[in-house]
Chains A and B, each alone.
Chain A
Amino acid sequence: MTSTPTISVSNTQGKPITPILDVDSLRKVYNQGAANENLAIDSVTFSVNKGEFLCIVGPSGCGKTTLLRTISGLAKPTVGTVQFEGTTLTRVPDGLGVVFQDYARSLYPWMTNLQNVSLPLKARGMKKAERLRRTHEVLDSVGLSKVANQYPWQLSGGMQQRVAIARALSYKPDLLLMDEPFASVDAQTRFDLEDLILKVRAEYGVTVVLVTHDIDEAVYLSDRIVVLSKGPSHVREVVPVELGEREQLATRSSDGFLTLRNHLLELVMPR
């Protein structure tokens, strides 16, 4: 089960794949040199291949959100590099979508759902007709075509997160980063959203990196799981997940799932 994080990965045909995201010796220190200096991330190295679904798990306080902010270009690494599609990140790249945990604050309450979803398209200078077509298409694929003209705060939590997912997908990003996206919804909605994200991932061919503290969720969704140590974090292990086609009940009760789950729990739980 143990494997070290590698940069050059080969697919089944043996052809080398260029990673879409390459995180190399990333270290993040807050308030460096000050009295309240805080080492959030010690050294994290991993890479994400095109089309992959990768989950990042770790004990609470392991700097998951810091890591996500750094790999999205919102924060600069103190040491190390983050490469997105071969170029070192200096700001948020255009081909990146992010879904935040707190949909209530991330969706703009002064805009309708339609306006929220089409905002990144407007920012990219897309013509109105094309923009509307794309917005309706993406709202449709998250099952929300009927509430386009309502406001986010008129919807349930699960529906709001669907709008946020639609917005992140509207401009067809190459990489979708998700920060505990299903942490604020109830269990049933959570299962629905997990299956939804697997569906749209296939539909849009998007690479997904999802940060979560929920091990079951990580096993259910990923192709690979990066396990972080407790903070200041480093990569404890990269666990490949080979469970085939997912189905909530069957997958979660399968032997493969339970073995992986136990292994991850051992890695994450403090002894």
Chain B
Amino acid sequence: MIGPYNSEVDDVSFALKRVLPPVLVIVFILAIWQVLTVTKVFSETQFPTMTSTMAALGNALVSPILWQAVGATLEGWIVGLIIASVLALIVGSLLASSTLAFRASAATIEVFKSIPAVAILPIVILVLGSTMNMKIFLISFGVFWPLLIQVIYGVRSMDPTVRDTAKILGVRGVRRFLVVTMPSAAPYIATGLRIASIGALILAVVAELVGGAAGIGRNILIAENGGSAQYALMYAYIIVAGFLGIILTGLFTLIETRVMHWHESQRNARSNEESAK
């Protein structure tokens, strides 16, 4: 006999199918870690056991030191990202509005984009010291160029019908920029921002780890310098840095789904999900 349709049971089994496999893989990896360290394939001085790392992580999570570091990292991340985004949006839209300006500046932008931001770290430290400003500058510089290119291509790829419609409707100036140009370039900008948010986090950690600015990166360095007794804590910080990356990517994906709900890719994703159920 076929039972009545029960959506609750269905949702539970659906969740199990989706959640269970990745959880099992994580548990498996943690177990391997524990086995390799307990059996001394890796010694305590090279690699702490999984359980001691987890214990250190547990202690760190309830300590203000970790949260202050996370706060400092996120502050640099968000301020750097905002500065780079605002500049990229303004400069990119201006350059994209003229073919001459676009052609004239393309080579320069390519050169700056190709400079790894880390390469300018020594000079930035020299000028600004191991400060929050140094971190913010490094992040802004590093993510500005790729974002600028995304904005330029986004604006230049505007559908001619979209542009003509704006002209016909008499939509001009700032209003045109905000309600036509930006939404029309939004798919490019969203991709650029998603990539920039990860780039900004990496640069924040580098500025802290190498440049000595306060944040999770510097805490990793301090723990490392503390000798093998501190290794478990160092790995705990590294795990936290990894989770920061996951959370920030998730956040951006969530914002993108919300803001870009009208876009074809999101509409298609929604209808695929509907038909998969």
Contact = CB atoms under 8 A, between A and B. Distances in A.
Interface of A: 69, 72, 74, 91-92, 94, 96-98, 100, 102, 105-106, 108-111, 119-120, 122-124, 151, 153, 167, 171
Contacts of A171: 170
A106 B165 contact: yes
Interface string B39-58: 00000000000000000000
Nearest to B164: A74
Contacts of B161: 100, 102, 105-106
Given A105-B159, A105-B161, A108-B162, A74 B169 contact: no
Interface string B173-194: 0010001100100100000000
B183 A123 contact: no
B171 to A, nearest CB: 5
A119 B263 contact: no
A72 B263 contact: no
A149 to B, nearest CB: 13
Contacts of A124: 170
Nearest to B180: A108
Given A100-B161, A100-B165, A123-B175, A108 B183 contact: yes
A109 B168 CA distance: 17
A175 to B, nearest CB: 12
| Minimum-distance CB pairs A-B, first 7 | A120-B169, A105-B161, A110-B183, A98-B168, A123-B171, A123-B170, A110-B262
Nearest to B167: A92
Q: In this complex, which of A69, A94, A100 has the most chain B Cβ atoms within 10 angstroms of its Cβ?
A: A100
Contacts of B264: 109
A167 B169 contact: yes
B103 interface: no
A55 to B, nearest CB: 20
Contacts of A69: 164
Given A102-B161, A119-B179, A123-B175, A109 B169 contact: no
22 contacts: A91-B167, A92-B167, A92-B168, A94-B170, A96-B168, A100-B164, A105-B161, A105-B162, A108-B162, A108-B179, A108-B183, A110-B186, A110-B263, A111-B179, A119-B169, A120-B170, A123-B169, A123-B170, A124-B170, A153-B262, A167-B169, A171-B170
A153 to B, nearest CB: 7
A181 B170 CA distance: 20
A72 B167 CA distance: 10
A85 to B, nearest CB: 16
Contacts of A153: 262, 267
Q: In this complex, which of B161, B169, B183 has the most chain A Cβ atoms within 10 angstroms of its Cβ?
A: B169
Interface range, B side: 20 to 34
B190 to A, nearest CB: 12
A97 B168 contact: yes
A72 B164 CA distance: 10
A100 B179 CA distance: 20
A92 B162 CA distance: 15
A94 B171 CA distance: 11
Contacts of B159: 105
A34 B183 CA distance: 36
Contact of A92 (B170, B180, B263, B267): B170
Contact of A74 (B168, B183, B267): B168
Contact of A109 (B164, B167, B170, B263): B263
Given A110-B186, A153-B262, A74 B165 contact: no
A87 B260 CA distance: 42
B266 to A, nearest CB: 10
A89 to B, nearest CB: 12
Nearest to A97: B168
B121 to A, nearest CB: 40
A242 to B, nearest CB: 32
B30 to A, nearest CB: 44
Contacts of B165: 98, 100, 106, 108
A195 B218 CA distance: 72
A129 B165 CA distance: 24
Given A119-B179, A120-B171, 15 more contacts: A72-B168, A74-B167, A91-B167, A92-B168, A94-B170, A98-B164, A105-B161, A106-B161, A106-B165, A108-B165, A119-B169, A122-B175, A123-B169, A123-B171, A167-B169
A94 B169 CA distance: 8
B155 to A, nearest CB: 15
A130 to B, nearest CB: 17
Contact of B262 (A94, A96, A109): A109
Contacts of A120: 169-171
Contacts of A74: 164, 167-168
Interface in B124-173: 159, 161-162, 164-165, 167-172
Contacts of A111: 179
Nearest to B165: A106
A253 to B, nearest CB: 37
Contacts of A92: 167-168, 170
A258 to B, nearest CB: 36
